[in-house]
Structure 1
């Protein structure tokens, strides 16, 4: 499905009937060949904006998956980068994508001034870190957390940052009511609610529960000072507003 290298319909069905953790363990080998991986143009736009906020020494990719965000952090941080995820399968793919210097194939060449990367298997709702990071980010993972879990997640990130540390992530503008994208996301969320009402274990993945106003409120409750930066590289809507913004939450 999606590409010849991507998962089949049967594989996606098995994943959807699994728990989140096991589902991503199954999907991990083919994840980067699906549309679920954050597009490079989003990664590049975020990198360009966050670089203006630096410099940074240490970075944390929350729910790192196969490591797309770690690639961003390696371009922004000077000393150390950590990827954390609760899927062993996703972490295995991430490790393969970013091997230690001594294990890099000769054709890849040396990693020029790239910081060291560590991988940690843990639940983002209970991060095992002291306040050690200057920068934390996350891409595409928030739909896996119910709204009641969001404040706790943000509080865990807050506790992992040094004073002055930043927590950043992109957030897209909602599709216009009645548009094809609007009905697609509405239909997907409705199908997931029916699935979770009828089947255990649950697979939490919703597209319409991460509303900007609620997100800003929860970030503020967790102790962050928050501002928004337009990601103009990702274009504008017909009314002139940006299609996506970067949320910048600072632990003052």
Structure 2
């Protein structure tokens, strides 16, 4: 699962017994060599879909980590891209990885997704693999924050994989991981919130609608379909309603 440049089992154990923020500070130098980074094939599929919907002007990568999603934004946004994360270590790695003179220029901001330090200035917000760090009860506040930093007509987009079938090894691996995390958090402080099975498609759609978004979803064709015909991976596209008389999200 890990390349020779990734963390050791001992390092992972130390990180897992830390807070989420400190754990990612420790993991940052080797994060891009772990399976926790969003695979390039998903990033490319999202980029292609957003490119067909754009272009956009100002983009935000929510919980950006080392900036894999920032690369997507730089290809679909014309004017600026911003990454926000509460791990200073992850931001430092991302800042060092991305060339400062590449266009559009990137800004890296330390902040909490539950209290975003921005006004309504973005046309596009993306997020990759971060929602497992939020408990279901936090979703209304999180989506309200994203709604508040989008311009009228702006878009929130993120990929969601189909849940694995109960007969598949992946189903039991994710169930085992989530169970281990619940036991860890019951016995150890500070908690480390990371669950794979709490971010459910139907519930997410309902909470986005309650936050004031118009919600669509689009199959990402590169990943095919399950035997029942449903997509293996979808892109959720949630749009903040445009105000009467306002321009489009990319008119910036």
* C-alpha deviation, 1:185, in angstroms: 0.6
Q: Distance in 2 between matches of 1:244 and 1:73?
A: 20
Poorly superposed stretches of 4+, deviation over 4 Å? none
1:153 aligns with 2:153: no
Q: Contact (CA 8 Å) 1:85, 1:120: kept in 2 or not?
A: yes
Aligned partner (choices 116, 140, 151) of residue 127 of structure 1: 116
Find the aligned partners of 1:51 and 1:239 in 2 and give their Cα distance: 29
Distance in 2 separating the partners of 1:82 and 1:171? 22
Work out the CA distance in 1 between the residues paired with 2:240 and 2:167. 38
Using the alignment, how far apart are the partners of 1:182 and 1:37 within structure 2?
20
1:163 matched to 2:152: yes
Normalised by the length of structure 1, the TM-score is: 0.94
**Cα deviation per residue 1:203-231 (whole Å; 9 max; x = unaligned)?**
00000000001100110111100001000
CA distance in 2, matches of 1:237, 1:7: 34
Report the counterpart of residue 248 of structure 2 in structure 1: none
3-state DSSP of counterpart to 2:128: coil
Corresponding residue number in structure 1 for 2:202: 213
Choose 234-243 or 42-51, whichever is displaced more: 234-243
1:23 aligns with 2:23: yes
Equivalent-residue separation in structure 2 for 1:8 and 1:55 (angstroms): 41
Structure 1 gaps, min length 5: 102-110
Once the two structures are TM-superposed, the CA of residue 99 in structure 1 deviates from its matched residue by 3.1
What's the counterpart of residue 11 of structure 2? Answer: 11
CA displacement at 1:234 relative to structure 2:
1.8
Distance in 2 separating the partners of 1:222 and 1:125: 14
Q: Secondary structure at the match of 2:204?
A: helix
CA distance in 2, matches of 1:68, 1:154: 21
CA distance in 2, matches of 1:240, 1:247: 18
Conservation of the 8 A alpha-carbon contact between 1:41 and 1:234: no
Scaled by the length of structure 2, the TM-score of the pair is 0.94
User: Which of 217, 223, 232 pairs up with 1:228?
Assistant: 217
Deviation (angstroms), 1:178: 2.4
RMSD (Å) for aligned C-alpha atoms: 0.9
CA distance in 2, matches of 1:17, 1:222: 34
Which runs of 5 or more structure 2 residues have no equivalent in the other structure?
242-252
Q: CA offset at residue 88 of structure 1?
A: 0.2
Q: Paired residue for 2:130? A: 141
Q: Distance in 2 between matches of 1:240 and 1:3?
A: 35
> 1: CA distance between counterparts of 2:24 and 2:55?
33
Give the Cα–Cα distance (whole angstroms) in 2 for the partners of residues 83 and 229 of structure 1. Answer: 24
Structure 2 matches for 1:55-204, cutoff 5 A? 55-101=55-101, 111=102, 114-204=103-193
Deviation at 1:79, TM superposition (A): 0.3
Deviation at 1:235, TM superposition (A): 2.0
Q: Does the 8 A contact of 1:45 with 1:234 survive in 2? A: no
Q: Distance in 2 between matches of 1:49 and 1:71?
A: 14
Is residue 41 of structure 1 aligned with residue 61 of structure 2?
A: no
